[in-house]
Amino acid sequence: METTAAGWQVSSPVVGGGIVVIGTSDGKVLAFDMGNLAPRWNLPTGPSATGVTSSPVIAQNEVFVAGGDGQLYAISMDGKKIWNISLGGPAYMSTPAISNGRLYAGSDAGILTCAALNGTFVWNFTVEGKIRSSPAVCGGHVYFEDTVYDGYNAVRSTFFALNADNGTLDWNRTIPAATSSPAIAGGRIFLGTNTGVIALDVSGTQLWFHPTEGPVQSSPAVTDGSVIICENSPNGSMRVLAALDGHEISNFTPSPKQYLFASPAPSDNMLVVASDNGQVNMRMATPVPRITWSPLHIAGPIKAGKTMEVKLTITNNGTVVSRNIRLQLREQPGYLQIDAPFEISHLSPGKNATVVFNWTPREDSKSLAVSIRDDVQDYYGPWLDIRQPEKEPYPAAIVNSSVAVLILVVVLAAIIALRRSRKGGAG
């Protein structure tokens, strides 16, 4: 498959509806047949210095792409333009994100634009620097960073979290200069910067930072509790970090050595990465533990103030030993810690262990869950609803007995009154 552009190519292809779609550096959006790569259609965008460096996305049987001419396009699967809307400035490498019927796209003008899939403008948000990374949408928030440049050098960045519905700012924080797109998994945000990889929670608190020798300009990949990154330096390396605390699990430097600007692609037990020397490198993924667990089992009926046992069984379904496992029972409301943490030094692949907690329900107890952590990652179990029986003012047996006694008293009183009245009549 050949594009119409001469020179370097930045846009990544997208596949859907039987076609392969890609943007070109001469400002076109091209489609090829997925079976034989024969050209299907060719749609030119407006004049620009960079062409289409953003990657297309496909949703609802339409193609959406941000152009270097500063327009966001919707294109039918047969190559006809449906609509376009201004981004306020040229889009450079920033790929639109799609969530809940909306598009979120950044531009070099420092404007993040939200539009409906029918082309209706919804809101925009303006920042100081250029938005060259792709936004990510998760949990009702849009996450992205801007970058301020001195010439071609990125000098500083700010990471933002916006309300996805109305575009209002929830929080932001200063980070090292960055052009990497954020990856979100397990309630954490992972972002490459010019000096290393940063992990944040969804409230913006920094959890860890792993320094690197070269800049991490591509988006991290997250899988099985690991964060996989590529350093874009002359001796570019691919590194596998623990999502839990950022410690390095393994690293790989392709030979011959070269820059690594592309994102790594994990697949089954393999890691794939392309380098600037024109080679595609494949490497066996580093094996990791994988903890699963049974549903929580509560012994006996739930009653406030009565201590009872809560059991679960954990299993290591990974291929290596899970070490320093820590389990904590938690209760809602309040996400309270229940009983002392249960610790297991290690669990071999294919083995399981049964854990028992002592739990005393409160009057307002609503649900239980277990949080699990080992040397590699955090695991979060589902919440178990707790349905305590409705309180009765008095047990049913007591109520029934009381009613019977009351009826008997009334009957006896009536008999006594009747006898008295008869005696009084006889006198």
Report the distance separating Cα 227 and Cα 224, nearest Å. 9
| Cβ(108)–Cβ(91) below 8 Å | yes
Instruction: Count how many domains the chain has.
Output: 2
Confidence of residue 103 (pLDDT cuts 50, 70, 90): very high
Segment 358-371 mean pLDDT: 87
Inside any domain, residue 21: no
76 in Cβ contact with 52 (< 8 Å): no
Higher pLDDT, 293 or 131: 131
The percentage of residues in the chain with a pLDDT greater than 70, rounded to a whole number, is 80
Number of helical H runs and strand E runs in the chain: 1, 36
Tokens representing 368 are 């239980």
Model confidence at 295, in pLDDT bands (50, 70, 90)? confident
Domain hosting residue 421, numbered range: 397-427
Look at residue 67 and tell me if it is in a domain.
no
> Is the CB of residue 119 less than 8 Å from the CB of residue 82?
yes
Using pLDDT thresholds of 50, 70 and 90, give the confidence band for residue 320.
confident
Instruction: Please state whether the predicted TM-score (pTM) of the whole model is above 0.75.
Output: no
Q: Looking at the domain assignment, is residue 333 inside a domain?
A: yes
pLDDT band at 282 (very low <50, low <70, confident <90, very high): low
Please give the Cα distance from 72 to 44 (Å, whole number): 13
- Residue 333: is its pLDDT beyond 80? yes
CA distance 244 to 374: 8
* Average pLDDT estimate for 23-31: 91
Match 């012994």 to its residue by tokens.
299
348 shares its domain with 402: no
**331 belongs to a structural domain:** yes
pLDDT of amino acid 389: 54
Residue scoring higher pLDDT (8 or 149): 149
Length of the chain counted residue by residue:
427
pLDDT of residue 271: 58
423, 369: one domain: no
Q: Give dist(CA 54, CA 60) in Å, integer.
A: 19
**What percentage of the chain reaches a pLDDT higher than 90?**
42
Q: Please list, residue by residue across 316-350, b when 16 or more beta carbons sit within 10 angstroms of its beta carbon and e when fewer do.
A: bebeeebeebebbbbbbeeeeebeeebebeebeee
> Does 275 score more than 60 pLDDT?
no
- Please indicate, yes or no, if residue 362 is contained in any of the structural domains: yes
Please report whether residue 305 resides in a domain: yes
Q: What is the CATH number of the domain that holds 368?
A: 2.60.40.10
323 found inside a domain: yes
In a domain, 138, yes or no: no
Handedness of CA 394, 400, 402, 406 (dihedral sign): positive
The pLDDT of residue 115 is 97
Is-cis flag, bond preceding 254, omega within 30? no
Residue-averaged pLDDT of the chain: 83
Strands (E), 67-135: 71-76, 81-86, 97-99, 102-106, 111-116, 121-126
The answer to whether residue 300 scores a pLDDT higher than 60 is: yes
381 plus 401 within the same structural domain: no
Residue range 43-63, pLDDT digits in tens: 999 999 889 999 899 999 999
**Whether 295 and 380 share a structural domain:** yes
